[in-house]
Amino acid sequence: MEEKYFRPSVTVDSIIFTIRDSQINNYRKLPEKKLQILLVKRGQDPFKDQWSIPGTFVGEKERLEEAINRSLEEKTNIKDIYLEQLYTWGDPNRDPRTRVISTSYMGLVDSENIKIKPGKFVEDIDWFDIQLNTLKETNKERKNGYYKTEDIEILLSNKTLTLKNKVRVVKELRNGNLIIYTQILQSDLAFDHAKLLIYAIERLKNKVEYTTIAFNLMPERFTLTQLQQVYEILLDKPLLKANFRRKIADMVIETNEQEENAGHRPSKLYKFNTNWQPHIF
């Protein structure tokens, strides 16, 4: 019997962030902390030997959450981490094999507590530094709103290579309705993963200001200096020490422990206050 409805394939993709020492090759320069993303080198077509965000097809009787966790464990050796659903991507030509609709997830990890290794259909796996550069901006006022574009260069670097990507983020305000979409201008990533990445980065930056999401990048015990550094990296701006500590005062609890092997006067260690109530950062 002829099928009444078209049946597209369904996938899930995971954008996993961490903050680690930058992967520089200059031994004369001390590494600095950088926001990084986990990428896998594909071991099968399409886009064989290209780097991509890890993902998988969803099984017929599998929930999306089950699929994303299975994919991470099978392909990267990561499990039991913070994940949140971001967006559903459904452009008709985003996958050369067939019509594929994908739901992307964002994950945050303290990379010191996990060990990544390439798994199923994966040739290699690594953390890549993220560098964003605004190349061009336009802003056109309209009678009932505006039309803005931003061309963004996304450079993803590990110790041996740099993946170059360029996207155009378009924001249109029409009669009070804001429409946002992204065009890929150039990409070394497989599929449309440059779109997924820039969307996740923007969501991460926005959520830092009013949630506890940054603490998913921290170890269980940390200094306030370490915490401030993470916030500065995510917000991409310096923060005044006194103001920062005042604003996060009720988000942390002081412990009786001190930093070990610090090479200077040891700092007090803190932990996240699980009873914290949200407010604007």
Say which CATH number the domain at 265 has: 1.10.10.10
Stretch 150-176: mean pLDDT? 96
> Where does the pLDDT of residue 200 fall: very low under 50, low under 70, confident under 90, or very high at 90 and above?
very high
Q: Decide which of 208, 238, 253 is a domain's last residue.
A: 208
Query: Could you report the per-residue pLDDT of 234-269, keeping only the tens digit for each?
Result: 999 999 999 999 999 999 999 999 887 655 678 899
Angle between helices 193-208 and 224-235 (to 10 degrees): 130
Considering only residues 104 and 4, tell me which one the structure prediction assigns the higher pLDDT. Answer: 104
CB 153 within 8 A of CB 194: no
Q: Decide which of 208, 230, 263 is a domain's last residue.
A: 208
**What pLDDT is stored for residue 53 in this prediction?**
98
Stretch 25-49: mean pLDDT? 86
Are 220 and 199 in a shared domain? no
Say which CATH number the domain at 129 has: 3.90.79.10
Would 85 be classed as within a structural domain? yes
pTM for this prediction: 0.91
pLDDT at 281 over 50: no
Are 218 and 201 in a shared domain? no
CB 78 within 8 A of CB 16: yes
**What pLDDT is stored for residue 70 in this prediction?**
97
Stretch 76-89: mean pLDDT? 95
Are 231 and 194 in a shared domain? no
Distances (CA, A) of 176 to 87, 149, 169, 180: 22, 18, 19, 13
Would 89 be classed as within a structural domain? yes
Would 277 be classed as within a structural domain? no
Structural domains in the chain (count):
2
Would 99 be classed as within a structural domain? yes
Are 204 and 221 in a shared domain? no
Are 256 and 136 in a shared domain? no
pLDDT at 151 over 90: yes
Would 244 be classed as within a structural domain? yes
In whole angstroms, what is the distance from residue 56 CA to residue 42 CA?
12
**What pLDDT is stored for residue 29 in this prediction?**
60
Would 117 be classed as within a structural domain? yes
In whole angstroms, what is the distance from residue 259 CA to residue 278 CA?
28
Q: Decide which of 192, 208, 224 is a domain's last residue.
A: 208
pLDDT at 279 over 70: no
In whole angstroms, what is the distance from residue 249 CA to residue 29 CA?
34
**What pLDDT is stored for residue 269 in this prediction?**
96
The residue among 79, 57, 59 whose CA lies nearest residue 69 is 79
Would 278 be classed as within a structural domain? no
- Which residues constitute the domain of residue 135? 9-208
Average pLDDT across the chain, whole number: 92
